[in-house]
């Protein structure tokens, strides 16, 4: 690239800054507000867990094992009952919110960044790099993530880092494909040509001219993906391939109560309900966000 004329960057900055979100246009629908309420509650529960939890998440009290919830004949000191090791269900559920949210959000952030970079590069650069990245994405899409998780865990054992790796490995494709397609359509538009004629560098064109146009799709995909990541984490933990005991992950907690369904229903039921509510909240909110930000994405 040749040196740009001195006035070009200033001009571009004044005329083409990132758009400010116009919040006045956002009207919450019933679905959107239900979703937002649930998400707020779960985030608060996770954030305030150390303050409001009556007991520690891994504190055992074998004398008080398998106590039913307070409304089903239990005591007020264990409002949601206890598990087979006498740990307080309510406290574990509160701390479990931290694990689910942390994994959901962090995997989406990492996968989103990787997918964004790959998608931008593939769409903007083209050539063999594009073919390589997009073929890789195709292959990834045709292998269910559970299979890679199984292969990985069978060799290295289960653990947090490996699970995040598996989830990221399967999350990035979605961003990469969407961004690739959008960049392809923007690459040849006049405003990009104009920017190039003014002497903008490729990085500048990508950051200031193309990225603002794809950012709403990214936000929508990312929001909906947080829910799917939480479900995937819970499934892996339930199968024993994810978060290991005694960590209070919701999926692991459901597995703890599997064999006690007939005698102590609350151990499996309550953490599952927590997962359902969280993911439902995220899905309702994500659907609303999609309708507001990017109606073209609506396929289902």
| Closer CB to another protein, 145 or 207, in the complex | 145
Among 107, 216, 225, 283, binds another protein (CB under 8 A): 283
31 CB-near residues (< 8 Å, 6+ apart): 284, 287, 288
Among 12, 111, 120, 152, binds another protein (CB under 8 A): 152
Please provide the DSSP assignment of 66-103 as one string. Answer: TPPPGGGT--TTSTT-B-TT--BHHHHHHHHHHHHHHH
Residue 155 interacting with another protein (CB under 8 A): yes
Among 8, 28, 41, 150, binds another protein (CB under 8 A): 150
Residue 298 interacting with another protein (CB under 8 A): yes
Angle value at C-alpha 41, between 35 and 43, nearest 5 degrees: 100
Residue 172 interacting with another protein (CB under 8 A): no
Residue 161 interacting with another protein (CB under 8 A): no
Report in angstroms how near the CB of residue 218 gets to another protein at its nearest. Answer: 21
Report in angstroms how near the CB of residue 200 gets to another protein at its nearest. Answer: 37
Alpha carbon 220 to its chain's center: 11
How far apart are alpha carbons 193 and 104 in whole angstroms? 38
Phi-psi sector, 68: left (phi>0), alpha (psi -120 to 50), beta: beta
How far apart are alpha carbons 205 and 211 in whole angstroms? 8
> Burial code of 99-123, b = ≥16 C-beta within 10 A, e = fewer?
bbbebbeebbebbbebbbbbbbbbb
Residue 153 interacting with another protein (CB under 8 A): yes
How many chain residues interact with another protein (CB under 8 A)?
Answer: 46
148 CB-near residues (< 8 Å, 6+ apart): 166, 169, 170
Residues 220-279, interacting with another protein (CB under 8 A): 227, 231, 234-235, 238-241, 251, 254, 257-258, 261-262, 265, 268-269, 272, 275-276, 279
Dihedral sign from CA coordinates of 15, 18, 23, 26: positive
How far apart are alpha carbons 235 and 228 in whole angstroms? 10
> Mask: binding to another protein, 129-148, rule CB under 8 A, as x and -?
------x--xx--xxxxxxx
Residue 215 interacting with another protein (CB under 8 A): no
Report in angstroms how near the CB of residue 107 gets to another protein at its nearest. Answer: 17
Report in angstroms how near the CB of residue 264 gets to another protein at its nearest. Answer: 11
Binding site for another protein (CB under 8 A): 135, 138-139, 142-148, 150-156, 227, 231, 234-235, 238-241, 251, 254, 257-258, 261-262, 265, 268-269, 272, 275-276, 279-280, 282-284, 287, 298-300
């Amino acid at each position: 690239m040749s040196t740009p004329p001195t006035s070009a960057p200033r001009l571009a900055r004044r005329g083409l800054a990132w758009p400010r979100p116009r919040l006045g246009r956002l009207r919450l629908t019933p679905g959107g507000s239900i979703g937002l309420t649930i998400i707020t509650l779960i985030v608060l529960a996770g954030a305030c867990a150390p303050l409001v939890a009556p007991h520690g998440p891994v504190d055992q009290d074998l004398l008080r094992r398998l106590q039913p919830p307070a409304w089903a004949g239990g005591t007020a000191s264990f409002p949601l009952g206890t598990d087979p090791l006498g740990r307080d269900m309510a406290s574990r559920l509160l701390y479990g919110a931290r694990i689910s949210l942390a994994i959901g959000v962090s995997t989406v952030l990492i996968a989103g960044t990787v997918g964004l970079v790959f998608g931008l590069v593939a769409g903007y650069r083209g050539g063999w790099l594009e073919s390589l990245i997009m073929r890789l994405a195709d292959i990834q899409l045709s292998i269910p993530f559970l299979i890679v998780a199984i292969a990985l865990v069978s060799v290295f054992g289960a653990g947090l880092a490996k699970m995040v790796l598996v989830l990221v490995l399967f999350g990035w494709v979605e961003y990469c494909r969407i961004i690739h397609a959008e960049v392809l359509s923007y690459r040849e538009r006049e405003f990009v040509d104009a920017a190039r004629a003014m002497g903008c560098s490729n990085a500048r064109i990508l950051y200031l001219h193309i990225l603002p146009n794809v950012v709403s799709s990214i936000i929508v995909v990312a929001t909906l993906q947080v829910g799917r990541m939480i479900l995937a984490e819970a499934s892996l933990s339930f199968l024993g391939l994810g978060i290991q005991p005694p960590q209070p992950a919701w999926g692991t907690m459901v597995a703890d109560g599997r064999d006690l369904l007939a005698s102590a229903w609350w151990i499996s039921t309550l953490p599952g309900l927590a997962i359902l509510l969280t993911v439902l909240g995220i899905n309702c909110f994500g659907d609303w966000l999609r309708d507001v930000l990017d109606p073209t994405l609506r396929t289902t």
